[in-house]
Amino acid sequence: MRPLFPICFLKKHLFKPFFFRTSRTITGKWPLKLFFVAALVLVSGSFAHTEIEYAPREPLARRSLLLDGCVAGVRMLTVGERGHILLSDDNGTSWRQANVPTVATLTGVFFENSRLGWAVGHDAVILKTLDGGINWSRVHYAPEQECPLLDVFFLDEKTGFAIGAYGLFLETMDGGDTWSARSISQDDWHLNHMAESAGGRLYIAAESGTIYRSDDKGKSWISLPSPYQGSFFGTLPLSNDALLLFGLRGNLFRSEDAGDSWSRITTNTEATLTDGKKLADGTIIVVGLAATILVSRDGGRTFLMSQQAHRKGFSAVLQATDNSVITVGENGIKKINLK
């Protein structure tokens, strides 16, 4: 069976939103949650009149399953299960919940500036905020697809993309108020993560060893040669045309030529790698399952591996303003000081 899991977490009562069972097989066997894909809706609004249910207020929301995070100005934000969006204005010390019009699990968040941002998740839901994440509105919702969105990325305040399962690719030209779907490939691989290089190239890390690149701001896409046939869950563009690519079983690769060729990096782990960031001082952090942390201080050429004692999976990492990082994942929010 073909699992969908850019971040493979299992909770006792809730499978990570990417655990699904489908008709094809790839590397890895996991406990999966069943779902079936319906016809693709080309524009938003088909469920515009569906009653909106707001994310519940929960005192322990910061300890819940959280799947992505970002920094917007001086504010940190994280998103996760039951529509939770958490905000911190004090470098990750304290967190409060936002007003969120969905109970769907949220999987990705992106901010264009300190005020304007978007979040995506299950039921193909897309949310938008104009006030730095305190209040959100629902701008897209398609539960009949039974197909989650997994990441969101904007080129500017108007032009953006939301990607997800079975090749689902949505784009907007009006700041996310309306969305349309198109195909970027004849394949229907799960599209897991999108990133942009300093030179303006766009990359998508996808299922089954697939990597896409766009050299024209997302108008067209090419499939890059793959160094591995298992799924990739993230890319991290570095300086010039250098790029890191990571995914299943601790696989981490580096390219010096925008993805045209790759070299393997030793990680000393078989834990799935889920997210990476380049910090302000040049340190590169890659995190993954089993509380895995890879740290590079030579521009991403070599990494040292460590694990937190709790062994709970990380789904995302973001930098605090001191010498620490904020991780989010199966164990909620954790602040980790770097040595």
pLDDT score of 50: 61
DSSP 67-88: EEEEEETTEEEEEEGGG-EEEE
Mean pLDDT across the stretch 172-194?
97
Query: How many angstroms separate the Cα of 140 from the Cα of each of 10, 45, 130, 176, 323?
Result: 27, 6, 16, 8, 38
Q: How confident is the model at residue 4 (pLDDT cuts 50, 70, 90)?
A: low
Residue 14: inside a domain, yes or no? Answer: no
Residue 7: inside a domain, yes or no? Answer: no
Report whether 202 contacts 156 (CB < 8 A).
no
Residue 9: inside a domain, yes or no? Answer: no
Report whether 246 contacts 276 (CB < 8 A).
yes
Tokens of 236: 């991290």
Least confident of 8-17, 45-54, 104-113: 8-17
Report whether 3 contacts 26 (CB < 8 A).
yes
pLDDT score of 35: 28
- Per-residue pLDDT at 34 exceeds 60: no
Residue 186: CB atoms within 10 A of its CB come to 7
Tokens of 151: 């990441």
pLDDT score of 338: 80
Q: Which residue in this structure is represented by tokens 């911190």?
A: 88
- Per-residue pLDDT at 22 exceeds 80: no
- Per-residue pLDDT at 7 exceeds 90: no
What CA–CA distance (Å, rounded) separates 110 from 191? Answer: 16
Q: Which residue in this structure is represented by tokens 């790029």?
A: 243
Work out whether the CA dihedral 226, 24, 250, 154 comes out positive or negative: positive
Query: How many angstroms separate the Cα of 318 from the Cα of each of 134, 166, 254?
Result: 19, 28, 21
Higher pLDDT, 153 or 48: 153
pLDDT score of 143: 95
Q: What angle do CA 162, 277, 131 make, to 5 degrees?
A: 55
DSSP type of residue 237 = E
pLDDT in tens, 80-94: 999 999 999 999 999
Domain assignment of residue 203, given as a range: 20-337
- Per-residue pLDDT at 48 exceeds 90: no
What CA–CA distance (Å, rounded) separates 149 from 18? Answer: 10
What CA–CA distance (Å, rounded) separates 110 from 102? Answer: 17
Residue 205: inside a domain, yes or no? Answer: yes
Higher pLDDT, 49 or 37: 49
Q: What's the CATH code of the domain at 65? A: 2.130.10.10
Of 99, 106, 97, nearest to 126 by C-alpha is 106
Q: Write down the mean pLDDT value for the chain.
A: 87
The domain total for the chain is: 1
Residue 10: inside a domain, yes or no? Answer: no
Residue 1: inside a domain, yes or no? Answer: no
pLDDT in tens, 241-263: 999 999 999 999 999 999 999 99
pLDDT in tens, 106-128: 999 999 999 999 999 999 999 99
Residue 184: inside a domain, yes or no? Answer: yes
Tokens of 175: 């700041």
Q: How confident is the model at residue 160 (pLDDT cuts 50, 70, 90)?
A: very high
Q: How confident is the model at residue 321 (pLDDT cuts 50, 70, 90)?
A: confident
Residue 105: inside a domain, yes or no? Answer: yes
Higher pLDDT, 25 or 303: 303
